[in-house]
Copies of this chain bind each other. A is one copy, B any other.
Amino acid sequence: MSVTAAQGFRAAGVTAGLKASGKPDLALVVNDGPLDAAAAVYTSNRCKAHPVLWSERASADGHLKAVVLNSGGANCFTGPQGFQTTHATAELVGELTGAGAADVVVCSTGLIGVELPRRKVLDGVREAFAGLSTDGGTAAATAIMTTDTVSKQAIASGDGFVVGGMAKGAGMLAPGLATMLVVLTTDAVVEAADLDRALRAATRTTFDRVDSDGCMSTNDTVVLLSSGAGEVRPEPAAFDEVVRTVCADLARMLVGDAEGADHDIAIEVVGAASEAEAVEVARSIARNNLFKAAVFGRDPNWGRVMAAVGTTSARFDPQTLDVSLNGVAVCVDGTPHADPAQVNLEPREVRVRIDLKAGAETATVWTNDLTHAYVHENSAYSS
């Protein structure tokens, strides 16, 4: 499963001692080739963690040998020491795998502003390297978990090739470009430029449309590696679609396991004048704490949807807006319609649909409700 579903990859997950809980916290994914093509996208947060600053350079040439990931610390705002830890980690992985440090992406996740214990990280890397195996995908997916309650793994197949992936992410979950930590692998024969196209197209409509809590991370990274071990060279469109499927599956799992969430909310905007406006409207609702709290309380308070729509610059006329909640048309042409009491908000999945009546474009953003458990979990995270 996960990153070892495709041929040509080995992985491992170990306990390096970075987490106070003693749970697994370091993962290694190695591409055994014959190809070493790769593409990656990173957070657009301007306060980037050291591993992101390193990895942006490492992945720029479209070639990667390995990805090393740790939970238990974001290595962000940790000063020059922190960057040296990232560098030393890449150096060691490069040395062990026979590649250079410049072919190693480093990913970290956890608390910002706290130094990683470098010796434990490096010892963990040696142990992970020794334990690499072609069925290590689940162990790797488990080792990158932070507040996740389940490991996230997905796999999809095309004609003669496989794309597999793992993800972690449960909070600070509102990507600006990519989100969270995700490693995708494929045995298809695909060069770096094609990987890049497939990955950017997929993330744009999957991870980029998850907005659980409006908070963009400093460490988001999505990497796609191709080993070419399957010896099949797929059509670009077919390959793109399989990559998108895996990304969409992982994105849905992220929303489904978001910190403290009680509902997964799909906000579908139709009738928009442009796709960007559809996304803007959907995101404004996804970030409206009052609406999110109402969903938690099973309260079909569609006025809060309207108040959020009104803060955007999208083209629409308030007098013609339609809103439905789980299929019930509570507002038609800006006027109350069906009785909101008909809306059943008990199921975990909630569907909000807004028709802007300004065009033919559409977009769906996924978010979660705002719950007591979210507040509880995030009021005590670093203590």
Contacts and interface: CB of A to CB of B under 8 A. Distances in A.
A76 B303 contact: yes
Contact of A381 (B216, B301, B371): B301
16 contacts: A74-B303, A77-B318, A112-B307, A113-B303, A172-B304, A172-B307, A213-B290, A216-B307, A216-B311, A217-B307, A289-B370, A289-B378, A293-B378, A294-B379, A370-B375, A374-B375
A310 B297 CA distance: 32
Contact of A372 (B47, B289, B376): B376
Interface string A186-228: 0000000000000000000000000001111110000000000
B303 A111 contact: yes
A114 B76 CA distance: 48
Given A318-B46, A375-B371, A299 B380 contact: yes
A379 B297 contact: yes
Nearest to A219: B307
A309 interface: yes
From A47, A372, A382, residue with most partner B Cβ within 10 Å:
A47
Q: Which 10 pairs between the two chains have the least Cβ-Cβ distance?
A: A112-B303, A297-B379, A47-B310, A79-B335, A293-B378, A45-B310, A46-B310, A113-B303, A293-B379, A296-B379
Contact of A77 (B217, B331, B370): B331
Given A302-B113, A383-B297, A46 B311 contact: yes
B297 A380 contact: yes
A288 interface: yes
Contacts of A217: 307
Nearest to A74: B303
A72 interface: no
A70 B307 CA distance: 19
A363 to B, nearest CB: 19
A78 interface: yes
Contacts of A115: 336
Interface string A80-112: 100000000000000000000000000000011
Given A48-B310, A218-B310, A287-B287, 12 more contacts: A47-B318, A48-B318, A77-B331, A78-B336, A79-B334, A113-B331, A113-B336, A172-B304, A215-B307, A290-B378, A297-B378, A370-B375
Interface in A129-178: 171-172, 176
Contacts of A306: 47, 76-77, 112-113, 218
Interface string A303-323: 110111111100000100100
Contacts of A310: 45-48, 216, 218
Contacts of A176: 311
Interface string A251-289: 000000000000000000000000000000000000111
From A217, A293, A298, A374, residue with most partner B Cβ within 10 Å:
A293
A253 B158 CA distance: 61
A39 to B, nearest CB: 23
Contacts of A45: 307, 310-311
Contacts of A303: 74, 76-77, 111-113, 218, 382
A382 B290 CA distance: 11
A116 to B, nearest CB: 12
A153 to B, nearest CB: 26
Interface string A32-56: 0000000000000111100000000
Interface in A335-383: 335-336, 340, 370-372, 374-376, 378-383
